[in-house]
Structure 1
Amino acid sequence: MMARRDRGVALLIVLWGCTLLAIMLGGFAALARTEGLQARYQYAQTRAHYAAEAGVMRAIEGLQGRDIGSRWIADGRSYLFEFDDAKVTITIVDEDGKVDLNAASGDVLTGLFKAAGATDDKARSLSSAIQDWRRPGDAASPNGAKKPQYDAAGVGYGPRNGPFATVEEARMVLGMDAKTWSAVAPALTIWSGRERPNSEHAQALALAAIPGLGRAGADAILAKRGQADGGVVAGGNGVTHTIRAEAILDDGTRSSLTSTIRLRGIRSGNQPYAVLRWREGDAE
């Protein structure tokens, strides 16, 4: 009787051991499968990332081709490029077609905010606040904002009283709300040095900011630009550009890069471009 009970206990222990072993093996199999999926995902993401990087390099080459007539045009049009089984879509925007936070006139800034949907009063106020941010001194301009106005708003900081160091710094300007910022951000720059955007390269919002042009004039310029014999001539680009490259693999894996670069020309011993800003993904 005792021997039979001992055999039953031994059998129960063996069954429990087999169950535990099966659970452990199942866990290891699930872990291995998860790690395999992660490895494949990371590999695909890496391929897509470097395909997007290749797109940026292809854009730089396209902007500096020896044949001026075949150079890529930096007015926001799309170029397609295939690299390592990835389809890459590239757009290039010349920074001289944007509104320069450090150089734009008050009329251009006001026009930009009005074109973005701000009321006349808010557009003038934001324009003055931007000019006060970049202007030395403590006295606010009419409708503008210096340190006392920022203190009264309780934001805990004041204007730089000097040039904007980044485009994103404009988010801190008194009165700049999230909706307005989202609308105007793609049209802003700190790298053109121009009082008004270059109409040959400017996008719709920046065009509409040019005094006397407005939406109707901007639409007319864009319509002409879209024609085969439009007014944009290849090779007429500036030197500073924002390039966006989006790569998509056959399995749908996607990666995007946005880089602002300054061309230096192709000369022996000279780096042909300098990177001013580099962002991965779609975040502004």
Structure 2
Amino acid sequence: MMRIGRRNQRGVGLLVVMWACTLLAILLGGYAALARTEGLQANYQFQQAQAHYAAEAGLMRAVYALQSPNVNDRWIADGRVYPMLFDQAKVGVSITSESGKVDLNSATPDVLTNLFRNVGVDPGHASAIAQAIIDWRSFSLTPQQTTQRKAAYAAAGRDYAPRSGPFASVEELQMVLGVTPEMYAKVAPYVTIWSGRSSPDPNTAPLIALASAPGMDLQHAAAIIAARPANAGANAAPGLVANNGITHSIRSEAILADGTRAVLRTTVRLQGFRPGAQAFAVLRWQEGDEE
């Protein structure tokens, strides 16, 4: 009987040891999986940070290139892409002068209408949107105008009325009656609130914006863009040479060897290189491609 009892005790002890070993193995496996996950997260964050700083380097390079002491080395702000390498990252930088875009606060009704037509909106709807933009940015002259504008937005299910004043941001365009998210996504790269021009500057305007100018179409605009100089140089438009105080949108995309990608978009106002002064002021800063 004593031998049987001892055998039972040894069996129970062996079972306990086996369960303990199994539990330890599970704990070690879980710890290893957690350590691997944390390692992957740390590596991802490091790669993202590396791509981010490479994209920032592209932005800084663009700011300098717009104001380079050597005019022939200056980059043209018409949306063309300038490639560069930074710390083994491939960086593509494009600059668009805000004067080459359609100003929501200053553009004529025809320019606004053409802009929406150029992105595929039918003529009647494009004209209606242009008028809605004019109404949004214009002060109401009479109480009747104010009431009519409010009524139009209320009828469309909006719980707000037009600003009756200048656009405070490009994003505000999304609130204008008739502008759908799809339309906004198409026109957002070509509109601004910082140029003060009634029509885009033909020297730097990208295709869609240039084709919105009076007397212009997509074919004519494409021909003008194709004829632009390869660099700023002596034969470029004066606006490309005298950059101090001019406002630009810069897009910088960095891609690492493993495919990690970072995109930075900013709008800056150049202030020139002066001792003790910042070379530029940031008006808008966005990360990623979404508006």
- After TM superposition, the score normalised by the length of structure 2 is 0.92
1:176 aligns with 2:179: yes
Give the match's secondary structure for 1:209.
coil
Aligned residues: 281
Deviations 1:34-89 (A, max 9, x none): 11111111111101101100110010000011112221110111111211111111
Q: Which amino acid aligns with 2:251?
A: R
1:17 aligns with 2:20: yes
Give the match's secondary structure for 1:81.
strand
Q: Is the 8 A contact 1:132 1:140 kept in 2?
A: no
Partner of 2:69: 66
Give the match's secondary structure for 1:225.
coil
| Cα drift, residue 223 of structure 1 | 2.1
Q: Which amino acid aligns with 1:239?
A: I
Deviations 1:171-190 (A, max 9, x none): 11001112221211111000
1:26 aligns with 2:29: yes
Q: Is the 8 A contact 2:75 2:232 kept in 1?
A: no
| Cα drift, residue 242 of structure 1 | 0.5
Q: Is the 8 A contact 2:99 2:200 kept in 1?
A: yes
1:56 aligns with 2:59: yes
| Cα drift, residue 140 of structure 1 | 4.8
C-alpha separation between the residues in 1 aligned to 2:241 and 2:166? 30
Give the match's secondary structure for 1:146.
helix
1:185 aligns with 2:182: no
Deviations 1:155-183 (A, max 9, x none): 11111111101101001100111222121
Deviations 1:94-151 (A, max 9, x none): 000000001111111111111111112111100000010011115559xxx7211001
| Cα drift, residue 236 of structure 1 | 5.4
1:167 aligns with 2:170: yes
Within 5 Å, give how 1:64-213 maps onto structure 2.
64-137=67-140, 139-140=144-145, 146-213=149-216
Q: 1:223 to 1:258 in 2, by over 3 A?
A: same
Percent identity over the alignment is 54
C-alpha separation between the residues in 2 aligned to 1:256 and 1:176? 26
Q: Is the 8 A contact 1:72 1:235 kept in 2?
A: no
Partner of 1:272: 279
Partner of 1:235: 241
C-alpha separation between the residues in 2 aligned to 1:139 and 1:18? 84
Q: 1:267 to 1:226 in 2, by over 3 A?
A: closer
Of the three residues 212, 228, 234, the one matched with 1:225 is 228
Q: 1:248 to 1:189 in 2, by over 3 A?
A: same
Q: 1:71 to 1:3 in 2, by over 3 A?
A: same
- After TM superposition, the score normalised by the length of structure 1 is 0.94
Give the match's secondary structure for 1:46.
helix
